[in-house]
Structure 1
Amino acid sequence: MSTEQILAFMMLGLGYGALIAGLATGMVVTYRSTGVINIAAGATAAYSAYVYSELRTTGTLVLPPSIPLTADREPLGALPALAIGLALAAGLGVLQYLLVYRPLAKAGPLAKIVASSGVLLTVQAVIVLRWGADPVAAPAVLPQAPVDLLGVSIPEDRLLLAGLVVVVTALLWTLYRYTRFGIATRAAADSRKGSVLLGLSTARLESANWVIASVLGGLFGMLAAPTTQLQPTTFTLLVVPVLTAALLGGFSSFGVTVATAFGLGAVNSLIALFQGQPWFPKVDGAPLPGVTELAPFLVLAVVLYLRGRALPDRLTAVAPPMPRAPRPRHVGPAAVVGAVVVVAALAGLSFDWRQALINTMLGAVLCLSVVVTTGFVGQISFAQMAVAGAAGYVTAAIGTDANLPFPLPPIAGIAAAVATSLLFSVPARRVRGLQLAVLTLAGGVAAQRFWFGNPQWGSGLRPANVAPITVFGTEISPSHSFWGTESPSSGFGLVVFVALLGCALLVVRVRRSALGARMLAVRSSEAAAVATGVNVGAVKTAAFAMGGLLAGVAGVLYGYNFAGVSADRFGPLTSIAFFGVAVLGGVGTVSGALVGGLLVSQGLLFHAVTTWFGIGPDYQPLFAGLAVILTVIGSPNGVAVSVADGARALRETWRRQRRRGVTATGES
């Protein structure tokens, strides 16, 4: 391996680095102007790239309705297709701001990042419905002829992309530092009320910034698509290196953000070079997978931990608004009624509804883990599915590969989940809020590719089998008959319900305990909690341990439910979706977790929609994304809390009317 090879591969990484830089600078723009970390940036850029590719190949504009722009669907030229793609990107930016983020202008960061996850799920679902999940070859925009540079042959488009990024970065720096628009944007970001008093239109400023960010993403998405694989998940998961670049740039510095992006591009390309070397670790003769995804996570974890603080500074001493976490009431009667309803449903429902009920209960268990880590302590974590996956894979290894009897496999799996969650609690002592959300998202991607996708200690491309539960020679599994029911069995459904009931009662007890009070104190203000004698680090560690235990129970049950585990089931996008439905239900309450279980994919609500209205399961991700957006706008505290508040208001109204009636009767 010569110096020329290293230099050549670093140059080849310019295309990937330019794509990251374009998306990251757009993310900096949206954050500086509206406080939104747009995790859907990769998905919206992918949509622009798909539209450009469709125009170049068939001359059809997808809005998503297909509109032929040329006779006999002849391909459109590069420049017209590029111009249409940029106009579409600008329109997407305006729509996102007006329909999603402007209504959330006064909401906290949690609501905004959940709304962004809803946009991500929606746009990705539209892409998959229209173009499928297979890779699409994107026609080139820039020339790709090789250029000799310092004795190294580099495709011309890589150099042009790098040069364009430098020019755009300089223009953005000049725009936001010296122009009236840039100064007004900074003023509006510092104080919306003050900018209004000065006569500035914050809505116009924010809308213009969203247009700039979306156009940047669309431009570099279309230009860089030929240098990478145009596939929905590939573009969507670019959010991890994009967030890494933007976060290391402090969501403020364009120069540092772009430099970090090019560094990540060079590292990504060098890893591809090193994988072909004999010294690189191999698994079954193939290079060790997941190293590309592990690199940005390690960089991000080290830098954030070193830059982090044990306590927030004065400007962030008070935590942003979080959904309410009221004290649970009427737990005993609710548990009894729930038990009667579930047992009757497991005995009487048909097999498809019974499976939907089991999926709902499994989803509720995982949502409970989000309630503890986010609802009680305020730590935004996108790694809950990775924690659940750790439990599932360890259960498979202990029960199937080592052939150890029940209950050793689930105990080992849950212990692995707790240990994995505690690893995330280490940076949580010094990193908080949106930074922790970014770090855990990167950790989820790394876990999926480096651990779950590894054929040596994961399952690779094939699922890992999970041996069924066997107690005193009796099998309890979805396929084993119970009460004469067909698969999934009612007996397994009872096991899932008992686990859900135990987890729910555990969370209720925590919320009512002194530990729960300390958790809420930490969520409210870490500095104030320390002043009252609360050990913030110990409280966070306890919360992550408990969240890991709950996620581990969910991961173990998932493995038993599907008789196996695979990397796709525990991916970061699934984790984002679960986080979204947990917030939808009400992230501060146990009842919210139960509502979240109803909303999960293949749960009761979606099964009802697909069954009663004849809508195929392919549309479930689309409806999930739209549901996340609409609910977080209309009910920031979650469905369960809003319903409880509405019921309480109705009771108070009825009582007032009754008292008035009694008074009127007495007077008469």
Structure 2
Amino acid sequence: MIGEYSGYLLAGLGGGAVVAALALGLVLTNRATGVINFAFGAIGMYIAFAYFQFRDNGDLILPVIGIPSRIHLLATPTVFTALLVAVLLSALLGAATYWLVFRPLRRAPALASVVASLGLMLYLQEVVRLNFPTGSAATVVRLGVLPEQPVRFLGTAVTANRLLLVIFVVLATLALTALFRFTRFGLQTRAAAGNKKGALLIGISPDRIGLINSMVATVIAGIAVILIEPISGLDPITTSLLVLPALAAALLGGLSSFTVATCAGLGIGMMQSLILGYTVRPSTSWIPDWLPRTGLQQAVPVIIVLIALIWRGDALPDRAYLVDKRLPSSPTPNHVTLWTVALVGATSVALLNFDALQRQALIVTMVSALLALSVVVITGYVGQISLAQLAFAGVAGFTVINLANDGLPFLVAALAATLVATVVGVIVALPAARVRGMSLAIATLAMAVALEQLVLSSNAFSGGVAGRSVPRPVLFGVDFGISARGADNFRPIFGFFVLGVLTLSCLMVANLRRNRTGLRWLAVRSNERAAAAAGINVGRSKIGAFAVSSFIAGLAGVLLAYSTSTLSTNSFMVIGALVALALTYLGGIASIGGALIAGLLAQAGIFTLLANGGADGQAGTYVFAMSGLALIVMAIFAPDGITGAFRQGLQRLRRALLQSRSRRRALAADSAVSSVAAHHD
């Protein structure tokens, strides 16, 4: 029995080593720049794909789109030359990431850094999807770097590459610890991290320090993912999400200790392997059938993240709160009736005149806008960066399917499912009420992964991979179902129902924004201590905002369940939550109009349909890569999003018109005075 458990633990050394390596990179980046890079796993993933492609045929594929990106360097590359190219590429990518993305955001709010890193992650995932073979190990054969033969260690057989990975991580940890403790560069990094202005006064360049540390961190991430490929495989999405357990390990080290982060990373990998091995063995029979056994291992980083956040609370090093920084503006909704009539009228005309494919895109747009509206409430109005909105929608979606299949009427099942999502949102808000900014983003991301793996992946709840179908919605004897035959598919009547729910939700949010509740939310977003001093219950305001946003997300989940023939867990993967936040920021995260634009930009929405149709489908190839770049650009140059840029453009135009009118009046007055003077002469 002990030998069996030790085998499970040692099998997790490889995964723990790569988690520890990514945690080292996160700590290194944070110590130098104060940034938590959610794209760190995606950066390592791209480097690994580039390495294996070069090792295969000598082609170097650069992370660019729209222009030739393939450069043939060698006819017969070796392991050494491929690793050398990977190291150089990692260093260059780390330098570009720091200089072009995170350096311009060093004085920006935490939300801008989160969105920029999400945009970078989406961009790199699309670069890999467009340029590399991304099949499984059965279809793509890659040559590993480390030997894979089994060796005896502590009386248990374990592959050599796992032990060598641990040695690599331990040596990297010792090197970084010695570098930061005993060298002049390490002292300069700590000085620049503590006080950039003071460092500049004594001749230390924070830019040079941040650039070098970013390059080193990227090299560590790239090499680690390359070495782990024979053990865990290589996938654009799952490899990118290795950043979550790495964040858990880095948080235990306070985002400052290399040693603690490494030990925590190794421990996470070993514990996940132990839990997985124990739960899937045939003799383990006490675990309920409805609980996904393979998902239990995901609870390890979630628990660690929550413990670290609760333990450290406000002491987490979030530099977004060291100085006052400009947040995205949240304009008061004006001309609500006029906008409602105009948009509802235009959408109604579209539903009645579009063909089936266009109606489908319009329905997807409206459902996505509803989900984005929940992000506007919690993140745009209250400043709480939540990455769990799609998980709330998933809970509501599968709940309504179960209730409807049990015989509950359409409206009763939909309302009950939405309330269940609201309760889940409030439960998530309780431990998250102590934290904010980047810390809250990490906590809600961990909870979203837990909900996806433990709840949404349950066969009893969601039907597993096969998914489940909901009965047709019938209200007062009228069939509101979406499906029909041929050109009548994606029926307009369902579109009108979705339009009604979206309209009422937008009106509700507009009313909340204009009354005292919205003012309290904005006060909490601006300065929690000042809000508390003014008599606002900050904790209650946060929990109330979570309740409202999860209620709206639940509505989106219910509509999504009724808009698809079969609802599966693939619709609620964590990457979708990241995309939802990113697109809402791109549209304008602090306004209702931003949510509507986010719906237009959603996958399979109106914008995607137009992009695909504009050039026989070719224009849509780069939609998500361009969206990732647009997120980075907007986070740096236009934090108010598309709607904010539009408002600012109108304001500049109005000022220009007023100035032009004033000049004309002044010229007319001068002309009149001159005429009078000439007449008297």
Instruction: Give the alignment's TM-score, normalised by structure 2.
Output: 0.92
- Equivalences for residues 279-294 of structure 1 within 5 A: 279-281=284-286, 288-294=293-299
Q: 1:645 aligns with which of 644, 648, 669?
A: 648
| Uncovered stretches (5+) of structure 1, i.e. residues with no partner | none
- Equivalences for residues 583-598 of structure 1 within 5 A: 583-598=585-600
Q: Structure 1 residues 81 and 610, CA, compared in 2 at 3 Å: closer, same or farther?
A: same
Distance 2:292 2:512 in 1: 45
Shift of 1:641: 1.4
User: Are 1:337 and 2:381 counterparts?
Assistant: no
Q: 2:394 matched to which residue of 1? A: 389
Q: Structure 1 residues 310 and 57, CA, compared in 2 at 3 Å: closer, same or farther?
A: closer
Q: 1:229 aligns with which of 212, 230, 233?
A: 233
Q: 1:589 corresponds to which letter in structure 2?
A: S
Q: 1:574 corresponds to which letter in structure 2?
A: G
User: Are 1:417 and 2:421 counterparts?
Assistant: yes
- Equivalences for residues 385-464 of structure 1 within 5 A: 385-400=390-405, 402-464=406-468
Shift of 1:191: 2.9
Q: Which digits, 9 at most, give the CA deviation of each residue in 1:638-661, with x for residues without a partner?
A: 111121121022112212221332
Equivalent pair of 1:428/1:540 in contact (CA under 8 Å): no
Distance 1:580 1:307 in 2: 28
Q: 1:493 corresponds to which letter in structure 2?
A: G
Shift of 1:132: 4.7
Q: 1:228 corresponds to which letter in structure 2?
A: S
User: Are 1:268 and 2:299 counterparts?
Assistant: no
Equivalent pair of 2:34/2:319 in contact (CA under 8 Å): no
Equivalent pair of 1:317/1:527 in contact (CA under 8 Å): no
Equivalent pair of 1:319/1:523 in contact (CA under 8 Å): no
**Which piece of structure 1 moves more, 364-373 or 623-632?**
623-632
Distance 2:533 2:512 in 1: 22
Q: 1:184 matched to which residue of 2? A: 188
Q: Structure 1 residues 280 and 110, CA, compared in 2 at 3 Å: closer, same or farther?
A: farther
Equivalent pair of 1:317/1:526 in contact (CA under 8 Å): no
Q: 2:2 matched to which residue of 1? A: 3
Shift of 1:320: 5.0
Equivalent pair of 2:330/2:591 in contact (CA under 8 Å): yes
Q: 1:26 corresponds to which letter in structure 2?
A: G
Distance 2:569 2:95 in 1: 36
Q: 1:486 matched to which residue of 2? A: 488
Equivalent pair of 1:297/1:443 in contact (CA under 8 Å): yes
**Which piece of structure 1 moves more, 51-60 or 418-427?**
51-60
Q: 2:198 matched to which residue of 1? A: 194
Equivalent pair of 1:335/1:501 in contact (CA under 8 Å): yes
Distance 1:313 1:8 in 2: 39
Q: Which digits, 9 at most, give the CA deviation of each residue in 1:384-439, with x for residues without a partner?
A: 10011111010111112x13221122112101110111111111222222111111
Q: 1:516 matched to which residue of 2? A: 518
Q: 1:89 corresponds to which letter in structure 2?
A: S
Q: Structure 1 residues 108 and 449, CA, compared in 2 at 3 Å: closer, same or farther?
A: same
Q: Which digits, 9 at most, give the CA deviation of each residue in 1:108-131, with x for residues without a partner?
A: 211111000011111111222233
Shift of 1:464: 1.2
Identity across the alignment (%): 37
Q: 1:21 matched to which residue of 2? A: 20
Q: How many aligned residue pairs are there?
A: 661
**Which piece of structure 1 moves more, 207-216 or 149-158?**
149-158
Equivalent pair of 1:10/1:270 in contact (CA under 8 Å): yes
Instruction: Look up the SS of the partner of 1:153 in the other structure.
Output: strand
Shift of 1:349: 2.3
Equivalent pair of 2:367/2:556 in contact (CA under 8 Å): yes
Shift of 1:145: 2.9
Instruction: Look up the SS of the partner of 2:151 in the other structure.
Output: strand
Equivalent pair of 1:6/1:270 in contact (CA under 8 Å): yes
Q: 1:140 matched to which residue of 2? A: 144
Distance 2:46 2:344 in 1: 46
**Which piece of structure 1 moves more, 94-103 or 232-241?**
94-103
Instruction: Look up the SS of the partner of 2:105 in the other structure.
Output: coil
| Uncovered stretches (5+) of structure 2, i.e. residues with no partner | 64-68, 673-681
Q: 2:611 matched to which residue of 1? A: 609
User: Are 1:116 and 2:134 counterparts?
Assistant: no
Q: 2:12 corresponds to which letter in structure 1?
A: G
Q: 2:270 corresponds to which letter in structure 1?
A: A
Q: Which digits, 9 at most, give the CA deviation of each residue in 1:205-228, with x for residues without a partner?
A: 222111111000011111122121
Q: Which digits, 9 at most, give the CA deviation of each residue in 1:102-155, with x for residues without a partner?
A: 232322211111000011111111222233543244422122233222222222
Q: 1:602 corresponds to which letter in structure 2?
A: A
Q: Structure 1 residues 12 and 288, CA, compared in 2 at 3 Å: closer, same or farther?
A: closer
Equivalent pair of 1:293/1:446 in contact (CA under 8 Å): yes
Shift of 1:627: 2.3
Q: 2:107 corresponds to which letter in structure 1?
A: K
Equivalent pair of 1:310/1:430 in contact (CA under 8 Å): no
Equivalent pair of 1:19/1:221 in contact (CA under 8 Å): yes
Distance 2:414 2:573 in 1: 21
User: Are 1:220 and 2:224 counterparts?
Assistant: yes
Q: Structure 1 residues 134 and 432, CA, compared in 2 at 3 Å: closer, same or farther?
A: same
Shift of 1:157: 1.8
Distance 1:286 1:510 in 2: 39
Distance 1:227 1:66 in 2: 28
Instruction: Look up the SS of the partner of 1:382 in the other structure.
Output: coil
Q: 2:45 matched to which residue of 1? A: 46
Distance 2:201 2:238 in 1: 45
Q: 1:498 aligns with which of 497, 500, 508?
A: 500
Distance 2:324 2:393 in 1: 28
Instruction: Look up the SS of the partner of 2:239 in the other structure.
Output: helix
Q: 2:678 matched to which residue of 1? A: none
Shift of 1:298: 2.2
Distance 2:317 2:540 in 1: 16
Q: 2:129 matched to which residue of 1? A: 128
Equivalent pair of 1:382/1:444 in contact (CA under 8 Å): yes
Distance 1:509 1:281 in 2: 50
Q: Which digits, 9 at most, give the CA deviation of each residue in 1:603-662, with x for residues without a partner?
A: 222221221133445543323222222222231111111211210221122122213322
Q: Which digits, 9 at most, give the CA deviation of each residue in 1:148-188, with x for residues without a partner?
A: 22222222222221122111111111212232222222222
Distance 1:520 1:287 in 2: 40
Q: 2:676 matched to which residue of 1? A: none
Distance 1:450 1:235 in 2: 20
Equivalent pair of 1:310/1:429 in contact (CA under 8 Å): no
Q: Structure 1 residues 372 and 555, CA, compared in 2 at 3 Å: closer, same or farther?
A: same
Distance 2:375 2:273 in 1: 36
Equivalent pair of 2:375/2:589 in contact (CA under 8 Å): yes
Instruction: Look up the SS of the partner of 2:462 in the other structure.
Output: coil
Q: 2:572 aligns with which of 570, 573, 583?
A: 570
Distance 1:311 1:132 in 2: 40
Equivalent pair of 1:396/1:564 in contact (CA under 8 Å): no
RMSD between aligned residues: 2.3
Q: 1:297 aligns with which of 289, 297, 302?
A: 302
User: Are 1:663 and 2:662 counterparts?
Assistant: no
Q: Which digits, 9 at most, give the CA deviation of each residue in 1:287-341, with x for residues without a partner?
A: 6231111221123223322432599999958775421112111111111111111
- Equivalences for residues 305-344 of structure 1 within 5 A: 305-308=310-313, 316=321, 320-344=325-349
Equivalent pair of 2:16/2:266 in contact (CA under 8 Å): yes
Equivalent pair of 1:35/1:109 in contact (CA under 8 Å): no
Equivalent pair of 2:276/2:293 in contact (CA under 8 Å): no
Instruction: Look up the SS of the partner of 2:479 in the other structure.
Output: strand
Q: 1:338 corresponds to which letter in structure 2?
A: L
Q: 2:92 corresponds to which letter in structure 1?
A: G
Q: Structure 1 residues 314 and 105, CA, compared in 2 at 3 Å: closer, same or farther?
A: closer
Instruction: Give the alignment's TM-score, normalised by structure 1.
Output: 0.94
**Which piece of structure 1 moves more, 62-71 or 495-504?**
62-71
Q: 1:356 matched to which residue of 2? A: 361
Shift of 1:42: 1.1
